[in-house]
Amino acid sequence: MSFSVEGKTAIVTGAANGVGLEIAQHLADQGANVMFADMDEDRLSHELGGQPETGNIRYFAGDLRSNLCLANLLSATIDAFDQVDILVNASRQILPTDPLDVQDQTLDQMLQQNLFTAYRLTQLVAKRMIKQAADQPQFIGGSIVNLSSIAANRANVGLLGYSVATAALDQMTRMMAIELAPHNIRVNAVAFGSVLSASLGNHLRNHPEDRETIEAGTPLGRIGAPGDLAHLVQYLASDAARFTIGQIFTVDGGRSLLDAVQVPAH
């Protein structure tokens, strides 16, 4: 069975930096047509502004919390590449939550950014994939991959909103997997920790002393690179994973196998 994604079209959100950028670039390097989507237009332009419009890379800037923006993202992808085969929901945000502050809105913000954005875009893309299957006999189904976190199953002080949102994303992954399976659309997730995402990089710049704590709490003894996730996403997006649905794959160097390390599980 082939691991190839060549010729497939992917939308990757959160693709201006960190993990999302690495996944999008990897898929493009493997021959996929890729729409890089993020709200940070300056960063997208910096990373991709020199790409020719005739190539296999495009980018879309907008606030994906807006339903209109999500619809425009899908339209831009179809206009550029005619179809969509892969969706990687990698857009996410981490904010601390004060559980005793009744004015704290971060739980709502985390659910909106880390759950509802992925859910709404999954709905739109899945409907497009179903239409493609009806119109194109050669279309063999699609793959949707959600980027989650080991925080979904761990209790980190100060991260109530983020942990609840990622736990909800994991369950949404399982539920959408069984809902979309009859349409041959596969939904899975990758939950990571101890990987140098943009948020973890920012955290370590402000708290360099936490690097040693994270490394000591990770059996492999190091912090992973964003590229450590990209090959797994490629597998899930490829025909090699055609019988795999509703799974949450953990990529954390073994960190979740140990007692909780009280550093945010980025």
Q: Which 3-state string (H, E, C) describes 218-253?
A: CCCCCCECCHHHHHHHHHHHCHHHCCCCCCEEEECC
User: Per-residue DSSP letters for 147-188?
Assistant: EEEGGGGS--TT-HHHHHHHHHHHHHHHHHHHHHGGGTEEEE
Which residue's structure tokens are 């939308």?
A: 11
CA nearest neighbour of 21 among 197, 145, 150, 242: 197
Q: How does the average pLDDT of the chain come out, rounded?
A: 92
pLDDT for 126 equals 98
CA nearest neighbour of 201 among 8, 3, 7, 22: 22
First vs last C-alpha separation in the chain: 33
Residue 13 has pLDDT above 80, yes or no: yes
Percent of the chain whose pLDDT exceeds 70: 95
pTM of the full structure: 0.94
Which residue's structure tokens are 């930096």?
A: 17
Domain extents for the chain? 9-257
pLDDT for 197 equals 87
Predicted confidence (pLDDT) per residue in 197-210, tens digit: 888 888 889 888 88
Predicted confidence (pLDDT) per residue in 186-199, tens digit: 999 999 998 888 88
pLDDT for 241 equals 96
Are the CB atoms for 38 and 15 separated by under 8 Å? yes
Q: Which CATH class is domain 9-257?
A: alpha beta
Predicted confidence (pLDDT) per residue in 119-129, tens digit: 999 999 999 99
CA atoms lying within 13 Å on the CB side of residue 68? 0
Binned at pLDDT 50, 70 and 90, residue 56 comes out as very high
Predicted confidence (pLDDT) per residue in 20-32, tens digit: 999 999 999 999 9
Percent of the chain whose pLDDT exceeds 90: 79
Distance CA 135, CA 123 (A): 19
Binned at pLDDT 50, 70 and 90, residue 51 comes out as confident
Cβ neighbors of 172 (< 8 A, separation 6 or more) are 115, 118, 119, 146
pLDDT for 140 equals 75
